[in-house]
Amino acid sequence: KAGVTQTPRYLIKTRGQQVTLSCSPISGHRSVSWYQQTPGQGLQFLFEYFSETQRNKGNFPGRFSGRQFSNSRSEMNVSTLELGDSALYLCASSRGQGEVEQFFGPGTRLTVL
Partner 1 sequence: QKEVEQDPGPLSVPEGAIVSLNCTYSNSAFQYFMWYRQYSRKGPELLMYTYSSGNKEDGRFTAQVDKSSKYISLFIRDSQPSDSATYLCAMRGGQDNYGQNFVFGPGTRLSVLP
Read off φ and ψ for residue 90, nearest 5 degrees.
Answer: -110, 140
Segment lying near partner 1 (by CB under 8 A), choices 13-21, 63-71, 76-84, 93-101: 93-101
Nearer to partner 1, 2 or 100 (CB): 100
Residues in region 48-87 near partner 1 by CB under 8 A: 55-56, 58
Size of the site for partner 1 (CB under 8 A): 21
- Written in H, E and C, the secondary structure of 20-65 is EEEEECCCCCCEEEEEEEECCCEEEEEEEEECCEEEEECCCCCCEE
Q: How far is CA 23 from CA 40, 49, 68, 86, in A?
A: 24, 12, 9, 18
Bridging pattern class, strands 108-112 and 10-13: parallel
Segment lying near partner 1 (by CB under 8 A), choices 14-22, 67-75, 76-84, 102-110: 102-110
Segment lying near partner 1 (by CB under 8 A), choices 12-20, 42-50, 62-70, 72-80: 42-50
Residues that bind partner 1 in the complex, under the rule CB under 8 A? 4, 33, 42-45, 55-56, 58, 90, 92, 97-98, 100-107
